[in-house]
Amino acid sequence: MVRVLAIVAVISAAMVSTVKASDDRLPYGMEWVTPGIVRLSGYNPGGFLARYLIDLETLKRLGVRQLQLDAVCASACTVFLRLGDRVCVTNRARIGFHKIVLLERTRFGRRRSPFKTADHNLNDKFLQRLPAKIRTWHGISGGLPWRMAWLEGEEAARLIGRCS
């Protein structure tokens, strides 16, 4: 019986350390450059906003001091801009904004609504949480567009800051 309890204790400890390690993983497409500095170098077209909000909290919890955008970061990925002055861009960064599109659940899974639907309150709240310089950018100053609006190059460096 004591031996069984010892084995259970060892397995439990291994499971706890595995869970902790997985909690410390960076979001998809990100890698550590140095302690405290993370680079998004994988193409990131976005996805479900709720997932990205969790990833944002993960970056905060891990103590990320700088997030370098070095690739396409579009749609829900733009939530990372909420890190404010902790975000910088490289010459390869392209940041794409569009209205938050609501999906409806069907018997066969999720799909885009046949009608372009956007929750205006949700879009307004999303915009209000972005840094002021981004909110005043001409691409989204009138609200999030239906079609992707791209922020890149010198304009992105001026509004967000260039990585050194």
Q: Is residue 10 in some structural domain?
A: no
**90 contacts 69 by C-beta, under 8 angstroms:** yes
Number of domains in the chain: 1
Q: Does residue 23 lie in a domain region?
A: no
What is the Cα–Cα distance from 111 to 72, expressed in whole angstroms? Answer: 24
Residue at 123 is within a domain:
yes
117 vs 80, higher pLDDT: 80
| pLDDT score recorded for residue 6 | 39
Q: Give the residue with greater pLDDT, 12 vs 140.
A: 140
- Domain span at residue 105? 28-160
pLDDT band at 118 (very low <50, low <70, confident <90, very high): low
> How confident is the model at residue 110, as a pLDDT?
57
| Mean pLDDT within 77-96 | 97
Question: Would you state the pLDDT for residue 108?
Answer: 66
In this prediction, residue 112 carries a pLDDT of: 55
Q: Is the pLDDT of residue 22 over 80?
A: no
32 within domain boundaries: yes
Residue 1 belongs to some domain of the structure: no
User: How far, CA to CA in Å, does 110 sit from each of 13, 50, 114, 117?
Assistant: 38, 15, 12, 14
C-beta of residue 97 within 8 angstroms of C-beta of residue 135: no
pLDDT, position 73: 98
What's the whole-number average pLDDT of the chain? 83
Phi-psi category of residue 47: left, alpha or beta, with phi > 0 → left and psi -120 to 50 → alpha: left
44 belongs to a structural domain: yes
Residue 20 domain flag: no
- Measured CA angle at 18 (ends 17, 24), to 5 deg: 90
Residue 18 is classified by DSSP as H
Write the pLDDT tens digit of every residue in 140-151.
988 899 899 999
Please report whether residue 96 resides in a domain: yes
Residue 18's Cβ-side half-sphere holds a number of Cα atoms within 13 Å equal to: 6
